[in-house]
Chain A
């Protein structure tokens, strides 16, 4: 994957470019939100005089039940959303990738056991699993991260398992074993780098799922407690003021939609761009599992 050809191919894909632009935009917003929002105090200040004002020049998305600027809180909420999604997917990768490597490298009961466990986790509808975990751990941002990690990991395990199984029979991997390299060394230095492309695609596509799940948990009151500007929680609050304060519920939902679209488009585009490489290295089951995850 030469740097220039990768970037130029990505740039030619309109979908991927849009997705990339959206993702970068939100990352930048998350990084500098406290310094750019029109009303930095919106995260905590209460202005009862200013409650539930409709959109205006001063407040683009109106104000909320406490009189805070909805737009400012939206931008501040970007941080929590991206934090949770990134670390949630990261946690899933930290659990799922090593398990997949082990299951793919070994035969026998360890491998079977790991894959069986992944199957069982996948037999529980993911949001239900996330709810059960988040509920038990108590409402906090970190617990949402853990809930996401424990929910998403089987996808990584399945992906890495299939790839490792396919790679294991490649001559250059077999040569490593023949030269006496330890399995750990082979997995870390030779197998894992070959999984970079599919993993990047999987991470990107999982980010969208993580944002949606985290928002649902927030909506159910299982995310960060008030006065967090988290989007899902904001929609739950706003629901009580419908239909009059429609802007209050509309804005965060649109933000979720745009972010998730961004990740999904980027992920789909990346997959298309990286596809030739993927196809070479990959078992047929990978395509299947990728399709499944999108669902």
Chain B
């Protein structure tokens, strides 16, 4: 079972990576600041108070011991307590996870649904006006600051045209909790009002996040299709009289998709990073919004916790993408 072996290897690799991420996050939060104890104890703390805080936080211990303590607490699901919500950070993050997953999935779906057909058509009509327009738009997609795009879309579509809601995930009651993704839950429970409302709220933040991702997908689909069109299985399929629809949208696209799938895994990082700022702007109750709130409150542990979770999401996504890759390219499974 080479597929399983590959998956297992990848999993071990990912756990190693996550461990590394924990160490880096630990290093950032515990080593770089001149005196975390002073920061935690507050501006007006006396020297004794700071020393006491240091002992309480275990900051007087050697660094490696601090790291082990930190890892031990993490394994128990303890990421500290948020100054902002006064609740355990892990609980806060868990409650906000579905919103981020929904937003990320929604944006990714949107980007794929737009990006792949546009990329294919752009490649088929290479050199046409449409192709040039698509290429200009793609290049622009990489150059726009997502937080500014979010604000401009709010200005245009909400404040001026009043087409979409400005903030939030839903109006009125959320659908019954199954997965925590409102759209999915609404669909599962047949709650059409909630589904419509959730989609209505999802639209603007997903469009904002989808743009650079769609640009990447268009770019790689276009290149991949152009490459695949030049390969000899195309004239052979033509010579055997297969329908052009099948040749382009099955044979050529399938060959082009291998590199696109890899890219989808990689742009997930851009997507999750973008979600931090975009969630804050649309008041989307996910991990990103939480991160920004915590930054505003100078809540170190919360920022680190959220960073860790988002990194974990990224690593897990790439494990999934790798599995998908193996399905799209059966040769990869054999390697």
Contacts and interface: CB of A to CB of B under 8 A. Distances in A.
A–B touch (CB < 8 A): the answer is: yes
Interface of A: 116-117, 119-129, 131-133, 135-137, 208, 212, 215-216, 219-222, 232, 235, 239, 242-243, 246, 249-250, 252-253, 256-257, 260-261, 264-265, 268, 291-292, 294-295
A295 B151 contact: no
A253 B155 CA distance: 13
> Secondary structure at chain B's binding surface: helix, strand, loop or mixed?
helix
B58 interface: no
A221 B220 CA distance: 34
B303 A131 contact: yes
A135 B266 contact: no
A242 B145 contact: no
Given A125-B270, A125-B272, A295-B270, A131 B154 contact: no
A222 B28 contact: no
Interface in B55-103: none
Contact of B20 (A123, A129, A253, A256): A123
Which of B160, B219, B295 counts the most chain A CB atoms within 10 A? B295
Given A124-B21, A253-B148, A242 B272 contact: no
A14 to B, nearest CB: 12
Contacts of B17: 119-120, 123
A41 B235 CA distance: 68
Which of B147, B148, B273, B292 counts the most chain A CB atoms within 10 A? B148
B269 A132 contact: no
Contacts, number: 151
Contacts of A117: 20
A295 B295 CA distance: 26
A222 B294 CA distance: 12
Contacts of B216: 294-295
A127 B278 CA distance: 12
Which of B219, B292, B307 counts the most chain A CB atoms within 10 A? B307
A13 B274 CA distance: 32
A164 B33 CA distance: 35
Given A216-B277, A295-B216, 7 more contacts: A122-B269, A125-B269, A215-B147, A216-B146, A219-B147, A256-B148, A294-B142
10 contacts: A121-B24, A126-B269, A131-B307, A133-B32, A208-B143, A215-B147, A216-B146, A239-B151, A257-B143, A295-B266
Nearest to A121: B24
B147 A136 contact: no
Interface in B33-62: 33
A253 B152 contact: yes
B310 A216 contact: no
Given A120-B20, A235-B147, A208 B142 contact: yes
B291 A131 contact: yes
Given A208-B143, A216-B145, A249-B148, A125 B311 contact: yes
Given A123-B17, A295-B263, A135 B295 contact: yes
Contacts of A127: 273-274, 276-277
Nearest to B213: A295
B21 A136 contact: no
